[in-house]
Structure 1
Amino acid sequence: MDTCVIFGAAGFDRLIAPICDDALVIAADGGLRHFDKLSRKPDVILGDFDSLGFVPEGAEVHPVEKDDTDLMLAIRHGLSRGCREFYLYGGLDGSRLDHTVANFQSLAYLSEQGAQGWLIGKDYIATAIGNKSLRFPANATGILSAFCLGRDAEGVSIRGLQYTLENGTLSSSYPLGVSNHFIGQSAEISVKSGTLLLLWDVSCGLPTLL
């Protein structure tokens, strides 16, 4: 088992990739509601269930007062089961900005653990990379933004976008990488040290991880 698919309480429009048969599927609290429109049932249901409003049968119940968000609980569970790639639905919602920022940090946590997380919302996809590269196809459209998470992101290269950078540095205190644009070319973003948070239009789908 390598893939973990987690559903949080916020909205999303569609799955960006089919759920493979051997994936670990987790409903985190209110994410259980999404299964009304999915053909697959969750393997694990967990959380404090303050969003859902009731405790489902067979659920793993956690206290409301805890250090982890429900999504982070699900991520930790997936890591403990050996998963290395995470699809996180229902965690990118502007109505709860605090949880959105927490989920960006959760992406960085996955990257630090040597795993890869894809946070999927209605309009955007986000991921975090460290010492890696992503490549987008020439038909990608819209905006891509790159932000530093934590200490300086060094050795940053951005190629094939409207604004390019070669072996540069991004700081967490200055938004140099915001609102770049795809221009009909294959695009590649890489970082040698530190962590980059990347966000792009959901219509582009998932890039290739290099």
Structure 2
Amino acid sequence: MGAEKQACMIIGAAPLDGRKLFKEFDPRHYYVICADAGYETALDAGVHPDLVVGDFDSAKELPPKTVKYVSLPVDKDVTDTMFAVMKGFNLGFNSFLLLGCLGGKRFDHTLANLEVLQYIREHGGHGIMADEHTKIFLLHDEKLKMTSMVGAGVSVFPYNGSACLVSYLGLKYPLNHEQLSCGCLPMGVSNQIISDPAEVRVHNGSALVVVGQ
């Protein structure tokens, strides 16, 4: 069903400027799954999803019968976004782009969506969470190479544990096998790319890397 496309785009209910974001991430190159009110976000940007899932507690109305959708119970053990990712895995995808999953009225949902990134990583997939200004990556014993991004801000946070060991190349404040620890001074915040390409390498542990223009 989604075999012709190499990656899965999940659109959540958080507000986003789809017309701007979809210029960078063309939905035609993705199998698009909307989670709940993400369907309305997609329609506003002229995107027609391949599938819609959710309990539709935040949506104004159910999708029309011409749209393929899976209706979920309100009382369940996973979020609509997590179910959408699980469905993507079932369809054979292991690369995911999460849009409409940052910000909005529910900060707890943003935190839950970071756990979705962790789920993708633990199941052998690759995930990016993005909005118009920010991209979030979860790295585990690997590196992130950034090209054509001089001037962009970079922040790195230890995740899913007490510490991570990192090195930076091409950033204003370089590090070489330095440890970032939870609950300590936030050494990883507000760095900046000063050369091309730049790189964040996680030698040990897990780190959230936040890149913003």
Q: Same fold (TM over 0.5)?
A: yes
| 1:88-146 superposed Cα distances (whole Å, 9 cap, x missing partner) | 11011153211111111211221122211111123211111112211112543231111
Distance 1:137 1:178 in 2: 20
Match of 1:28 among 13, 35, 53: 35
CA-atom RMSD in angstroms: 1.9
Distance 2:172 2:73 in 1: 47
Q: Which moved more, 1:165-174 or 1:110-119?
A: 165-174
Match of 1:191 among 181, 190, 202: 202
Contact 2:137–2:208 (CA<8 Å) still a contact in 1? yes
Structure 1 residue 64, shift from structure 2 partner:
1.5
For structure 2, which runs of at least 5 residues remain unmatched after alignment? none
Three-state SS of the structure 2 residue aligned to 1:161 is coil
Q: What amino acid maps onto 2:190 in structure 1? A: S
Three-state SS of the structure 2 residue aligned to 1:166 is coil
Structure 1 residue 153, shift from structure 2 partner:
4.5
Three-state SS of the structure 2 residue aligned to 1:95 is coil
Distance 1:89 1:128 in 2: 15
CA 1:39–1:135 in 2, change beyond 3 Å: closer, same or farther?
Answer: same
Q: Which moved more, 1:165-174 or 1:25-34?
A: 165-174
Structure 1 residue 34, shift from structure 2 partner:
2.1
| 1:128-167 superposed Cα distances (whole Å, 9 cap, x missing partner) | 1112211112543231111111114433111111111112
**Would you say 1:107 and 2:111 are equivalent positions?**
no
Q: What amino acid maps onto 2:187 in structure 1? A: L
Aligned to 1:206: none
**Would you say 1:71 and 2:81 are equivalent positions?**
yes
Contact 1:161–1:185 (CA<8 Å) still a contact in 2? no
Three-state SS of the structure 2 residue aligned to 1:101 is helix
Aligned to 1:4: 8
Distance 2:149 2:57 in 1: 42
Match of 2:48 among 36, 41, 44: 41
Aligned to 1:154: 164
Contact 2:164–2:207 (CA<8 Å) still a contact in 1? no
CA 1:193–1:101 in 2, change beyond 3 Å: closer, same or farther?
Answer: same
**Would you say 1:200 and 2:207 are equivalent positions?**
no
Aligned to 1:208: none
- TM (norm. structure 1) is 0.87
For structure 1, which runs of at least 5 residues remain unmatched after alignment? 204-210
**Would you say 1:53 and 2:64 are equivalent positions?**
no
Distance 1:29 1:169 in 2: 39
Distance 1:53 1:39 in 2: 18
Identity among equivalent pairs (%): 34
- TM (norm. structure 2) is 0.86
Contact 1:129–1:191 (CA<8 Å) still a contact in 2? yes
Q: Which moved more, 1:105-114 or 1:24-33?
A: 105-114
Distance 2:167 2:8 in 1: 29
Q: What amino acid maps onto 1:190 in structure 2? A: R
Structure 1 residue 189, shift from structure 2 partner:
0.4
Distance 1:54 1:96 in 2: 20
